[in-house]
Amino acid sequence: MSVRVAVVGLGWAGRELWLPLLREHADFDVVAVTDTEPAARAAFDGGPGIPVHATVDALDARSVDLAVVAVPNFLHARVAAALLRKGISVFLEKPVCLTSDEADLLAAAERGGGAMLLAGSAAPYRSDVGALARLVPDLGHIRHVDLSWVRARGIPKAGGWFTQRSKAGGGVLFDLGWHLLDTLTSLLGPSAFTQVVGVTASDFVNTVSWSAAWRQDAPAAGAGGDVEDTARGFFVREDGVSVALHASWASHEALDVSTVQIAGSAGTAELRCTFGFSPNRRPQSLLTLTREGATTSVPVPDEPIGNEYRRQLDGLAGILGDPRNRGRSIGEARTTVRVIEDFYASARSVRVRHAEPAYR
């Protein structure tokens, strides 16, 4: 029996990503969509039989099993909590929450409604990340992990909600950084962080020429961005593993490159690839294993861009059907948002010299 799905939010992610994937997947049946914007509802062409609603108030657990929520960050917890209280399970795009208080709100709503919160973060479902994960048991005691996702040019809609702290919660750390932290959890398992140091920079965020070209977003009218476009941090996990993180929406690099390097007592594995949809990408993923001065290449499957989102849906119905998964996503999200809160607290304690607006 198909899972009856409502798509909440008809922005880029809901319209261009989740709706097509859900409609082509055998496990799901799209039964409703919602968006608060009249123009978005009017432009939706979902075919006959799919009602379009202005708010999630029109949805109920008798007709909807799962809501895929793809709304701006500041609405994530509020919308998801309202659905969970109705008994409708929620697949929530990252970031799951923006504060620890929002994590508590979602946990209470999940318990109260008897539904399940599932988190959307596609990077761990990439086939090359899976190949890296299979090397981890052979690396001995894991000592350190380097995580980076550095774009050449890729700032979301200049002046839009993505670059407004009041609506996004933060900048690249909540966007690309959340994916990197989820990837870390998928590789090493969950762990709290005992030490967090971070710095941020905003050298590119208010310059239109550094925008994400593949999204075809026109600059939004109004205020400029007040979030970071670059975040660099160093953490120590409760299990003793140190972690270096570097996330950038824009840089002086020619290509977007994502790197995950895991150093252990018996060897080091490194994956270099390009996460996401950017056209400024490496031609292929490269996975290597280094031991005692010798580096060997490890084959990785080739797959279409964005296939990780499709693979994430493949196991979703099974996860949803197992009540033991209730509480798992919010537990992991609480750990992630706490390290992000600590990161920003550390960054605020550092006096940063602002760059001159030299790049146009």
Average pLDDT over residues 119-125: 92
Q: Which domains does the chain have, with CATH numbers?
A: 3-121 (3.40.50.720), 124-310+339-348 (3.30.360.10)
Residue bearing the bigger pLDDT, 272 or 223: 272
pLDDT given at position 351:
66
Q: What is the dihedral of CA 277, 282, 285, 288, to 10 degrees?
A: -140
**Which residues on adjacent β-strands are paired with residue 246?**
148, 232
Cβ neighbours around 47 below 10 Å, total: 8
Mean pLDDT of 203-211: 86
pLDDT in the model for residue 239: 97
Judge contact between 127 and 284, C-beta under 8 A.
Answer: no
- What number is the average pLDDT over the span 275-303? 95
Q: 224, 328 in Cβ contact below 8 A?
A: no
Tokens representing residue 74 in the block: 């500041």
Instruction: Count CA within 13 A, CB hemisphere, residue 292.
Output: 1
Strand partners, 201: 230
- Would you mind telling me the total number of residues written for the chain in this entry? 360
Q: What is the pLDDT of residue 212?
A: 75
Where residue 217 falls among pLDDT bands split at 50, 70, 90? low
Q: pLDDT class for 94, splitting at 50, 70, 90? A: very high
The helices-and-strands tally (H runs, E runs) of the chain is: 12, 14
* pLDDT > 70: percent of the chain: 93
Please give the Cα distance from 17 to 24 (Å, whole number): 11
pTM of the model: 0.93
What pLDDT, on a 0 to 100 scale, did the predictor assign at position 53?
95
The overall longest dimension of the chain from CA atoms, in Å, is 63
Q: What is the pLDDT of residue 33?
A: 96
**What pLDDT shows up at residue 206?**
87
Confidence of residue 357 (pLDDT cuts 50, 70, 90): very low
